[in-house]
Amino acid sequence: MANVLESIKLNAKSLNKNVVLPEGEDSRVVEAAAQAVKEGLATVTLLGNPEEIKKNNPSVDLEGVVIVDPVTDERTAKYAEMLFEARKGKINKKTGLPEYADVEEAKKGILKDYTMYGALMLKAGDVDGLVSGACHSTANTLRPGLQVIKTAPGINTVSSSFVMIADRENKYNPDGVAVFADCAINIEPDAQQLADIAISSADTARKIAGIEPRVAMLSFSTKGSGNDDKFFRSVPKMQEATRIAKEQAPDLILDGEFQFDAAVAPEVGKLKAPESKVAGNANVFIFPNINAGNIGYKIAQRFGGYLALGPICQGFAKPINDLSRGCSVEDVIAVIAITALQAK
Ligand SMILES: CC(C)(COP(=O)(O)OP(=O)(O)OC[C@H]1O[C@@H](n2cnc3c(N)ncnc32)[C@H](O)[C@@H]1OP(=O)(O)O)[C@@H](O)C(=O)NCCC(=O)NCCS
């Protein structure tokens, strides 16, 4: 972990990106902001009332941290306008009414939801990335981004991946690092969404894990060996996802569908998919749904001794990352550096 994280931090330092942290009310976030600035990982913008932040964190040296108070900042009116325009015609699922009746309503909305405020700063280009979720749920952290930042060109699905880092030599993972997706956001992705997840994960492999991706679309079947999946149709789904991903990203080294052993063990890969460049050689793994992905990464973590860095959000038009509510100050700092790299 140390090496991958060190190189992420080193790369982040050379970029000098500006990352907004909307959760100025959380002491871990405030401390991480101060440390990230001290380490030179990024310029950090913290949202909240400056007096309150300083009063609640008397021992934290906030020199160099930019504190923006949405209540008094002169850009708030511009952001309210942007939100109103971006969400025009959208209906609130709970009330059945328009999300924002007018700009004034939009302004009230962003003053109640600083994650949305941060997302609008990102949309305006006033910052380069956003990190939140230390004291907000995944849904409340991602929704503003889904609503106003939207997806990267050519991608229609926001997803997540874990960068898995080996703690010892493993002949099936000579890189010592792998990418698993989607283990945290999309519950039951369809073939098109899986293709998006595969393409985004390859990007994460290059930018964050520092490896050249060889993507395996995983299944309980290898190249049609398990075509009896009458009930869930998951094998044809992975086959279709493989076809779409190859069409969308013809230069990407990607293949499937593979069982995990056919994807990583050269002897099995040669036997079951002799023509494939990926079989026996994969380092990016796309799971058919969140059950498989979430269980899979936890098995690698607990039984395999892998360290799991993530979830790292991918597919947004501009970088947004979700922290775990149990995060430590160090975790927040790592995610700031990852977000800075994604903004490259
Ligand atoms: C991602 C997630 C938070 C979105 O939830 P939500 O806010 O209820 O989403 P909605 O269906 O209301 O959609 C809101 C907007 O985001 C878009 N959207 C939702 N999921 C999206 C995705 N994965 N990619 C791209 N856009 C997405 C919708 O199209 C919608 O756009 P619009 O309002 O402009 O029309 C939700 O799918 C989720 O909770 N996933 C599982 C997270 C989880 O529990 N993980 C376990 C932790 S390990």
Distance 143 CA to ligand 1 centre (A): 6
- Return the DSSP state at 190: -
Q: Atom of ligand 1 at shortest distance to CA of 294? A: 48
Q: Is the confidence at residue 2, as pLDDT, over 60?
A: no
Half-sphere exposure in the Cβ direction for 337 (13 Å, CA): 27
Of 321, 309, 277, 268, the closest CA to residue 180 belongs to 309
Indicate the length of the chain as a whole number: 344
- Burial grade of 101 (CB within 10 A; 0-12, 13-18, 19 or more): exposed
For range 302-327, the mean pLDDT:
94
How do 215-218 and 284-286 pair as beta strands? parallel
Distance 56 CA to ligand 1 centre (A): 33
Percent of the chain surpassing pLDDT 70: 98
Of 47, 44, 92, 86, the closest CA to residue 65 belongs to 44
Ligand 1 in reach of 143 Cβ (< 6 A): yes
Ligand 1 in reach of 289 Cβ (< 6 A): no
Ligand 1 in reach of 90 Cβ (< 6 A): yes
Residue-wise pLDDT for 147-202, tens only, equals 999 999 999 999 999 999 999 999 999 999 999 999 999 999 999 999 999 999 99
Q: Atom of ligand 1 at shortest distance to CA of 139? A: 3
Q: If you take atom 43 of ligand 1, which residue's CA is the nearest one?
A: 185
Q: Is the confidence at residue 230, as pLDDT, over 80?
A: no
Confidence band, pLDDT 50/70/90 cuts, at residue 34: very high
3-state secondary structure of 183: coil
**What is the model's pLDDT at position 233?**
85
Residue-wise pLDDT for 319-332, tens only, equals 999 998 889 999 99
User: Are 38 and 65 in contact, with CB atoms under 8 Å apart?
Assistant: no
Q: What is the mean pLDDT of the chain?
A: 95
Percent of the chain surpassing pLDDT 90: 93
Of 10, 86, 87, the closest CA to residue 41 belongs to 10
Pocket mutation for ligand 1, best pick of 136, 138, 146, 316 (most atoms within 8 Å of C-beta): 146
Q: From CA 245, how far away is CA 191, in angstroms rounded?
A: 9
Question: CA 100, 104, 107, 113 torsion: positive or negative?
Answer: negative
- Count CB atoms within 10 A of the CB of residue 336: 28
Residue-wise pLDDT for 108-132, tens only, equals 999 999 999 999 999 999 999 999 9
Specify the pTM. Answer: 0.93
Q: How far are the Cα atoms of 188, 219, 230, 311 from residue 224, in angstroms, in the given order?
A: 21, 10, 13, 31
Distance 190 CA to ligand 1 centre (A): 14
Q: Atom of ligand 1 at shortest distance to CA of 156? A: 25
Q: Which residue has the tokens 């991608």?
A: 155
Q: Give all domains of the chain, ordered by start, each with its CATH number.
A: 2-150+318-342 (3.40.50.10950), 159-311 (3.40.50.10750)
Residue-wise pLDDT for 259-295, tens only, equals 999 999 999 999 999 999 999 999 999 999 999 999 9
- In sequence order, what DSSP letters do the residues of 318-336 get, joined into one string? S-EEE--TT--HHHHHHHH
Distance 64 CA to ligand 1 centre (A): 35
